[in-house]
Structures are given as structure tokens and as C-alpha cells.
Structure 1
């Protein structure tokens, strides 16, 4: 017999070899029917997994992230089964669960049309209605490869051969006439999937490499209740209306060009103005908090990156200028600012009295992202970021880390984004030592310091093993886009490796030379990504201080233009961003246009305003604010701008 601790601390006794499914059934049929997978001592497992020792078991339903993942992963297999039934020549690649559903990649003769997706969805519903049981089995590596070759699934063969290197058995899942290589976990049958929708179809390269075959990627989502799907589709429609990639183009904030290239957006005047305002705000606040501005080159010789470790650990993500095999001198565009600012530190000898030393820079960085990874302004190949590096004494580390975090939180609160964030403590993976520099002792020490700081500051965080930078652990401040996908916006890292590699020292009180601790941090993150999140947060209706056009002047008739331009001159003198709509259009049309442009304030100027020397003010959300003196509006608007009010 074994003891199993369940939710709430209850301990029950079971026969050795009991499965999570059997445990769920012993508690109640309602739970048994809704459970998707289980977590045994922290490891997510299939419901069929035998349990042979004392442990803690969490039974995970669709309401838990890992339960949802198993549910959606099962749905991806149903999608693949339907495709293979309808298009037998299709080749299956991969089909994981993702943040907001699932996808499956197929090699097909021609991309699926919307009509094809409807047929596939109908076939999926037939499969679900059949209630097929799902079986799990394992094969030795050579048997697995042989079976997949007989199935004529080249992508699966490639994956199986990679997994066969460690000699371990390879797991498969079978549902009726469909078998797929998969680690799982999956549901025990297809029956719980009551509602499914295929949302879109895109192109994707195998393994994200443009040199490989282009595949057809079908996205979908599934739920245990039809009502949940309806709610999701409503949310999706709202998300699409706010999607920065759509709305940002409609509002003429940014565009892209095929002749410039993927992942290289062009900020148009309105978008560039918002980014300029953000940069000024950030740089002024950083200066107020004791950060010193640097301006470093966009590129460097490979020598610099070899010292930092980027050449060995990040070269695939860099744009290299020249051939490392042939050229005597090779340069690379910088993927980050840290090794450049270290050279500023090394400009002269440092004393403990000089520390903490805080360098900040609004840096343009370049990263060679895979084509399949890029999206709008969220993930690009060239971006601008407020990056900083802080050198300090050991006893200053916690206080300086706290200050970096306070700066980040202040920025997020000012922008109205703070309520949407979560924290992730990214740690190294000791099982994958080749990804990192430094010793296990250095990593344990750095992670211990960061954990102590986070716990002391009562920061709620999830842990991401294997997600650290190659030189140190980090705190990622993440935020969800309109589709629910989390992206990292701000990062704060502790580093005790690179100071030693670069020979960065300070003379301590006793005259000895020591390496400083380094904190890498961003105060607002990538400006392009921040702009994308702000577009989605406010649906393009930015707070007045960030609005590219703050006031739109709308004359009712041409005879009002002279007065309108007098008003514009007065507002210009106050530093406001003003436009005049001088077209000979009806005033209702002009108002609708300004509303669509999300301009905070509109002045509707007619005969009475000219006669009384007043302005008739309209707010984009509050509607008609009535008639007021221009100086009264200016006072009201300047207060709204200076306080960075969100309304």
C-alpha cells in the first residue's frame, strides 16, 4: 500500500500501481469525467501512469493550465486524424498545445482553404462523437523509426531518430486509425472534447527555418462545453479588433515593406511620436534616479562577443558581418548592450566609493529571429530598448535590485499596464550545462540571492527552469497580449560571471581588487513591443500625454478657418499636438473621422464660438463637454498631460 496526499492535504491509502484515473474515480465520477491529467510530485503525467510510492497527486481539470494543455494537445491529435482521413497524402509534422489553443503543421499539396477547414472541423466532430478510447504505448527506438517509416511520415522519423540517441523508449498515442509520436499527456478518450473551432491557417517552415519545407499550420481551440467556445469566440472577435498588427496599421502608426524585410517595421509619424514621448519620459526618469547615459556603437568585432560568451552561446541569434572562417576581422551587430557598457566601466580604475555605478542607454539592438517567430511589433529583428547595467558592491545588491524593480513598476503603472503583469523567475538547468557559463556554485549563489530578494520583496513569481540567460538568472516581468499569449516586457538579471570575464574590478576598502556584482535591467523594455501592448490595451485611444494628435480642430465652414488657425497657434505655443481638418466636408463626417482616429479632444468651431471667442469641446469617450474659454481648456488639458492621467 502507498500513501497519496491529495488537494487540501488529505492523505489516502491505495494499492501500489494505482493510476491517477483510478484515484479520481475513487473520489467521484464527476471528477473522473473532468480530469485531464495529473501532477505527481510536481511532474505532469498521463492519467494511466502507475504510481508505486508515497507521493502528492494533484488531479488537473481543464481549469488548470496543465489540464488545459493536455486537453488541447488531445484536440491537436483529433485535428491530425481528421486531416489524414480527408487528405491521406498529407504528412504530419508537429502539433502542440499553445497558449490559446493548439496547432498542427502539415505538408500538403496546396494550403487549406476556409472550405477545407470546415470539412476538417466536421470530420473532427465525427471523431469526437465516436468516443474513441486513446491508448498509450512505447517502442524501442529502432522499432519506432521502422514503424514511422512504414507510415511514410518523414517528419516523425526525423524526430524519432533524434530521440533515439539516448536509447530510451519512445512513446506513442493511438486513437482508432490514427497513431502519433508524442510525449503526452493526453486525455483517456476523445469524448470530453465537446466543442471545437479551427481559427485560422498560416504558413510555417519546418523547425522555423526558411531553408526547410514550408508547411501548412492549422490553428484551433477546443472546450469541454459549447458555451465556453461561444465565450471564447466573442473574446477572440474583441481581440482581433484590438490586435495591434491590424489596428496599428489602420491608425497609421506603423507599416512594413517586403523590400525592407520581415521583422523590420517602419514607424510612421504618429507611431514614431509615441515612441519619442516614451523615450523622453523614460530617460528623464532614469536620470532622476541616478542613471548615467551612455551612447555606444551598433556593432563590434567578434573579439568582444567572444569575451562575453555571446559568440559561443548566442551566435545563431546574431547578424554577423563577414565570414568567421575566412576573414581576419569579423563584426556583428549588437544583440544586447551589456558588453559595450562594460567597456565604459573599464575606462578607468574604479574604487568601492564609485559604486553603485548605473549606466543606461536607449539602445538599438538586432536579433536574427526565425521568420516563423516574428509578429507585428511584438517580435522583430531590429528594436529599441531602454537598457541599463549597474555595477555594485555585494552589500548594495538587494537595495539596487529593489530600486530597479521599483522603476519598472513605476513605468508600468504610469502606462496603465501594471494590472496585467506576472513575474517569472528564470533559472538555469543544471542538466543542460552547455547552455551556460560559470560554475554550479556561482549559479546556486546567484539564484539564491535573487530568490531571497524576491521573497523579501514579496514578489509572487512562477519558476522557469532552463529559461535563464547564459550568464545569470533573471526576473521576467511578463504581460499578455490580446490573445492571451504572454510576452516578456521587462527583465532584471543578477550577474556575477561577466565582470570576471571582462576583468571588471574595483579597489575595496582594504586595497584588494574585487569583481562587482552586475544587475542587467530594462526599465520599460522594447519600445516596439511596448507600443504594441499600448495599442491593444487602449484600442488605439491612448492617454492624452501619449496621443500623437491631442486636439483636432473641426471648423463647421470655411469662414471659421481664420479663428481656427488662431486657436491652433495658441495651442501650439503650449506644446500641444494639434491638427486642423480644413476639408469642405459636413461637420458630422469630420467628427466621425476624428473619433475613428481616436483623437482625445475635438473642437467644433462655429459662428457662436467665433463671436464669443470660445471653443465647443468634445471628448472621444465622454462626448460633448460644452463651450469653454480656450484658456480654461488649456489649463484642464495641461493638468491631464502633466499627471499622465488615464481617461
Structure 2
């Protein structure tokens, strides 16, 4: 059995030293690659990195160094300019320190003692100002010490499988008006094998980076003159989006969803009723028109509530399912913007279902089934997570419990294994988050299903029940893709730009060998467009080999070469990129094959 490095008690993790000092007993955590163990390993590795930085740059001062999903980081400042090349130097120093097998010890001191200890360190003073209470933990290894609540490994000798991955800038405390600090990211594991697997994944991720591929393939772009976080969709990217929208729309109509559309700007008074003004204001954009404040919508729910209120509703109408590909705007700090994955304007595949409480389970079950079909079409594995009431919320505990129980019942009845994220719900209700796993093993947050009994109450939504009394409907917020922007980014990286035929922005490139074959290529293109497939003609004055190479760089699923023989016999010479085959096929048979391919996938 590997070494015990921590104790889990009451859903909190303590290092062995703290557990022993405070007499805490619970589940033992061993030095392995379990989530709890990695949290301790990575937290300790963050301090190891800080110690190495301090030895290399004596004037370095440190802010915070938390564990995050992708590993750990530390924010710090120094008068020296740190570059990507310095990461190898820091990593080498970390290995030297780790081999010294320095004991990692903890001391608990008062706030006043901590203030005196770090008197000349303005970053530590900021950290301490944000920590409540009078007891502060200080962890020490060798000549390095830092404020920290832990937990940590007992000794640096256990740290041997780590890698520094990225250098970035970060505003102090995330405040754009504060000074810029240096941030170094890293990752650590219990063994070399898992580290090497992760490094391979990082290298693969660089090749698949949607920002790089999006530029190469002409899918989307960003323009500083327009503004950060505001993507521009180029024709090929817009075609890709349109195809996903078409498939989704067809599936929504079959499932009896009704299209609606709400305005993109609404009076602030309505956002006050909804609770967004008090609970989400910092993420919204506002303007004043005729001395009245308006808020640009960060969500589509209020518009759909107004659609519901546009008519007197009866129980016979429920459930009512409204959908909208709604454009929303959210204020994201510039430091977290990341290609299409984190933007300030995006389009949600949003829907809201208004139903009776007794219909919740069936509606959520239908959404889960819908999710299965969509994720299956793209080849994604996925998992679901139930998020419960957060500290900042609206509505009574009783209403929250009813809504949470309804989601749990739907998950269990569908045989879904799920995790629970305590306190991770939306401010107005609990939710199920849909997390997908891509081709190289990364997990992405996409869709969500949220039960809301609070907004219907706030807006006094009603329907007439069988006994002619007024009842309040339940509102279900539902997005499966999450947003088209984020989903396209994930798809691009999942497939490495090699989109499957049914959604590829250009499905077929027609390459006439000479000008004489261009009219036949144009004829084929028109027929392909009529059956819903998109084709391009490469008719530049280039060699055949160069035309083929250019088409292959665009990762087009199918290339059709047209020469004199092909025109005479009305055939096409096909290079199928996905099956890696070459063959000749009659024109009519080719068009039939393409039409079948376009209809192979449905949600």
C-alpha cells in the first residue's frame, strides 16, 4: 500500500500532520492518482514551484497558488522578466529541491502574528485581508514558508512527476484595475506514466487548438477593432453552425418545441423582478434610453416568460416547450477570454419548458434521451452532475428540495450515474450539468437542465387547473449544446478539424483538371447544393497536385477529380479522406450516396 498523505473527514481534506494535531479521524487518502490525492500532490507542488522561484529570483513575492482543474498555478511578481524559456530552469530547480526530501511542516498563528511575519510583503497583506477569522496556517519547507490552509504532503521527496505547462499574466485578485502579476501553471501526478499521458494530451491539444484550426480552415476570427470576446463567423464557420442548427431544429419540431424570440435588451425593472439585477448584475451590460435603464440579456429566460404571459394558460396546454437560438451577452473579464470557449457574445440552444409539477420527471427524462441522441451522433461520451443550492440564491429551502428531488428522480429512473456538486446550482434553482469527454480525454461542460420554481413565483405565472383554480407552473431551463460557439470549439478540437461528412463546412471539393471541365463541375455543384450538401470548385490556374494538396489542407471529407474522361462518361474520380480510399463512381450513384450521407444522422 502506498503512503498515507491525508485524511478525508466531513467532506474536507486534511494532511496527516493536521489530522494528527487536531485528532481528526476519517477516510485515509493514499499517494495515488485519485482526485483527493491529486489535490494534495498539486497543492504541494505549487509550493515547491514557489520555493524554486524564490531561490532563483530573491525579490519574488507571492499572492495565491491554488489547485485548479488543469493542475495548479501560482501568482507572483518579481523585477525580473519571466519568459517561457525560464520554465525549464524553474522546473530543474524544483527537481533539485524535491530530491532534498525536505519535511513539510505546518504552524498555526494568529492574524496579528501573520501580519507581523509578512510585514514587508504587500501581496500577503492583500491575501490576509480576504481571510476571515484569527487563525492562519503557515506551511514551511526548508527556507521557504507561505500562508496556506493546506493540505500538503509530509515531504518533498514524494514530488517527482510534475511539469510546468504555461506562463500567463493575471490581475491581482482578478481585478482589471489592479496590477498585473505573473502566473505559472503546472501539473503533477503520483507517477511518471500518468504525467507522460498528460503531456501527450497537451501536445495533441496544441495540434487541435480550435483557434489555430479555425484560422487555417477559415471558420471564424476575432478583430481588435470590434472588441475582445466578439467572434466573427466566416462563411465556412457559418455553414458549419447552420448545419448543426438545421439538425437541431428538425429534432426540436419532432419533439413539439415551439420557436419563439425575445428582445435582446429589456428594462432593468424586469431584471429586478427576475433576481438577475441583484444576483447577476456584475455579469451584465447596461445602457440608458430616455432616462430609463435597460439591461442587455445574459439569458433568454425572461423573454420566454413574457411569451408564456402573452396568453391565458390552461393545464391542457402543458407542457409548453419554447426554444430560441438566443444571442446573449455576458461581461467576461479579458483574462479569461479564450477563443470560442469563453466569449462575451454567444448563442445558446436555449429552451424553456413550462409544465405541471407532476410532469417534471417525464420532461427531464425526455431531455436526457435527447441528450443521448445528440452526443451519440457526435461520438461523445458524457457524464452528468447534479448541482444543489448555492449560498447566493432565491427561494425557500422547501422549494429547492422539491426541485432537487425531481432532478434526482429523473436521473435515477434513467439509470444515469451522476456526481453531486454541493452548492453549484444556479441562483434560482438546482441543475444537471452535462459534461462531455472528447477524443483526447478532456472533459467539457456543455449543456444544462435547471428546475426553476422561483421565477414562476416572481412573475406570478399561472395556469387554470382542472378544478378551475389557478396553479403555478414549473419552469425548466434547458440547453444541450450550451452555446453554438463553445460547442463548435469543442467539435473542432474533438475531430481535429476532420469534421464528419454530415456537418463539414465544405463536404466536397470538385477539381476540374482543365477549363474544359469547369461547366460539368458547376453542374455537379448545383445538384449537390439542391440536396443540401455544400461543394466548392477549385478552378485556379494551378497544377492538379497543388489543388489536391490545398483541398486536403482544408480537411475536406471528399475530393472529386474531373477530367475529360469523367465528363464524357459522367463519372467522378473520388478521393475519400475519411475512408482513405479512391474510386470512380457514376454521377447518379454519387449524388444518391451523398444524399444518403446527409440523412444518415439525426437527433
The answer to whether TM tops 0.5 is yes
Match of 1:589 among 546, 566, 569: 546
How many Å separate the matches in 2 of 1:161 and 1:447? 36
Q: Is 2:169–2:181's contact at 8 Å kept on the other side of the alignment?
A: yes
Which residue number in structure 1 is paired with residue 232 of structure 2?
A: 266
How many Å separate the matches in 2 of 1:424 and 1:520? 16
Is the counterpart of residue 428 in structure 1 residue 382 in structure 2? no
Q: Is 1:364–1:382's contact at 8 Å kept on the other side of the alignment?
A: yes
How many Å separate the matches in 2 of 1:111 and 1:66? 35
How many Å separate the matches in 1 of 2:586 and 2:353? 50
Is the counterpart of residue 63 in structure 1 residue 26 in structure 2? no
Q: Is 1:198–1:220's contact at 8 Å kept on the other side of the alignment?
A: yes
Q: How does 1:6-45 map to 2 (within 5 A)?
A: 30-32=1-3, 35-45=4-14
Which residue number in structure 1 is paired with residue 147 of structure 2?
A: 181
Which residue number in structure 2 is paired with residue 82 of structure 1?
A: 52
Q: Is 1:248–1:254's contact at 8 Å kept on the other side of the alignment?
A: yes
Deviation readout 1:15-60 (Å, 9 max, x if unpaired): xxxxxxxxxxxxxxx422xx44332343222122336889641424
Q: How does 1:299-318 map to 2 (within 5 A)?
A: 299-318=265-284
Q: How does 1:605-624 map to 2 (within 5 A)?
A: 605-624=562-581
How many Å separate the matches in 2 of 1:116 and 1:623? 43
How many Å separate the matches in 2 of 1:228 and 1:510? 63
Match of 1:192 among 158, 162, 176: 158
| Shift in CA distance, 605/232, structure 1 to aligned 2, threshold 3 Å | same
How many Å separate the matches in 2 of 1:260 and 1:111? 31
Q: Is 2:57–2:80's contact at 8 Å kept on the other side of the alignment?
A: no
Is 64-73 or 618-627 further displaced after alignment? 618-627
Is the counterpart of residue 209 in structure 1 residue 178 in structure 2? no
The alpha carbon displacement at 1:384 in A equals 0.2
Structure 2 length as normaliser, TM-score? 0.95
Q: Is 1:208–1:371's contact at 8 Å kept on the other side of the alignment?
A: no
Q: Is 1:104–1:219's contact at 8 Å kept on the other side of the alignment?
A: yes
Is the counterpart of residue 128 in structure 1 residue 98 in structure 2? yes
Match of 1:406 among 358, 366, 369: 369
Which residue number in structure 2 is paired with residue 479 of structure 1?
A: 436
Which residue number in structure 2 is paired with residue 439 of structure 1?
A: 396
Is 89-98 or 40-49 further displaced after alignment? 40-49
Which residue number in structure 1 is paired with residue 217 of structure 2?
A: 251
The alpha carbon displacement at 1:575 in A equals 3.1
Deviation readout 1:182-210 (Å, 9 max, x if unpaired): 12111111111113322221112122221
SS in 2 for 1:390: strand
Q: Is 1:208–1:373's contact at 8 Å kept on the other side of the alignment?
A: no
SS in 2 for 1:368: coil
SS in 1 for 2:176: coil
How many Å separate the matches in 2 of 1:537 and 1:497? 37
How many Å separate the matches in 2 of 1:37 and 1:557? 72
Is 616-625 or 375-384 further displaced after alignment? 616-625
The alpha carbon displacement at 1:617 in A equals 0.5
The alpha carbon displacement at 1:354 in A equals 1.9
Is the counterpart of residue 359 in structure 1 residue 322 in structure 2? yes
The alpha carbon displacement at 1:480 in A equals 4.5
| Shift in CA distance, 228/447, structure 1 to aligned 2, threshold 3 Å | closer
Match of 2:485 among 528, 538, 541: 528
Which residue number in structure 1 is paired with residue 331 of structure 2?
A: 368
Q: Is 1:41–1:57's contact at 8 Å kept on the other side of the alignment?
A: no
Which residue number in structure 2 is paired with residue 154 of structure 1?
A: 122
Is the counterpart of residue 49 in structure 1 residue 18 in structure 2? yes
Is 184-193 or 444-453 further displaced after alignment? 444-453
Is 619-628 or 525-534 further displaced after alignment? 619-628
Q: How does 1:89-108 map to 2 (within 5 A)?
A: 89-108=59-78
How many Å separate the matches in 1 of 2:232 and 2:210? 14
Which residue number in structure 2 is paired with residue 603 of structure 1?
A: 560
Match of 1:506 among 433, 443, 463: 463
Q: Is 2:284–2:295's contact at 8 Å kept on the other side of the alignment?
A: yes
How many Å separate the matches in 2 of 1:110 and 1:256? 32
CA RMSD, Structure 1 to Structure 2 (Å): 2.1
The alpha carbon displacement at 1:482 in A equals 7.2
Which residue number in structure 2 is paired with residue 331 of structure 1?
A: 294
How many Å separate the matches in 2 of 1:178 and 1:571? 68
The alpha carbon displacement at 1:316 in A equals 0.4
Q: Is 2:107–2:138's contact at 8 Å kept on the other side of the alignment?
A: yes
How many Å separate the matches in 2 of 1:562 and 1:363? 41
Which residue number in structure 1 is paired with residue 474 of structure 2?
A: 517
Q: Is 1:316–1:368's contact at 8 Å kept on the other side of the alignment?
A: yes
Runs of 5+ in structure 1 lacking a partner? 1-29
Q: Is 1:543–1:644's contact at 8 Å kept on the other side of the alignment?
A: no
| Shift in CA distance, 109/65, structure 1 to aligned 2, threshold 3 Å | same
Deviation readout 1:40-83 (Å, 9 max, x if unpaired): 34322212233688964142433201211211111111111111
How many Å separate the matches in 2 of 1:566 and 1:448? 59
The alpha carbon displacement at 1:114 in A equals 2.7
How many Å separate the matches in 1 of 2:484 and 2:456? 28
SS in 2 for 1:50: helix
Is the counterpart of residue 344 in structure 1 residue 301 in structure 2? no
Structure 1 length as normaliser, TM-score? 0.89
| Shift in CA distance, 583/341, structure 1 to aligned 2, threshold 3 Å | same
SS in 1 for 2:90: helix
The alpha carbon displacement at 1:168 in A equals 4.0
SS in 1 for 2:18: coil
Q: Is 1:544–1:645's contact at 8 Å kept on the other side of the alignment?
A: no
SS in 2 for 1:44: strand
Q: Is 1:93–1:155's contact at 8 Å kept on the other side of the alignment?
A: yes
Is the counterpart of residue 320 in structure 1 residue 277 in structure 2? no
SS in 2 for 1:524: coil
SS in 1 for 2:74: strand
| Shift in CA distance, 518/572, structure 1 to aligned 2, threshold 3 Å | closer
How many Å separate the matches in 1 of 2:239 and 2:312? 40
The alpha carbon displacement at 1:337 in A equals 0.9
Q: Is 1:412–1:524's contact at 8 Å kept on the other side of the alignment?
A: no
Deviation readout 1:253-296 (Å, 9 max, x if unpaired): 11111122221111111111111111122122112111111111
Q: Is 1:209–1:371's contact at 8 Å kept on the other side of the alignment?
A: no
The alpha carbon displacement at 1:552 in A equals 0.5
Is the counterpart of residue 171 in structure 1 residue 137 in structure 2? yes
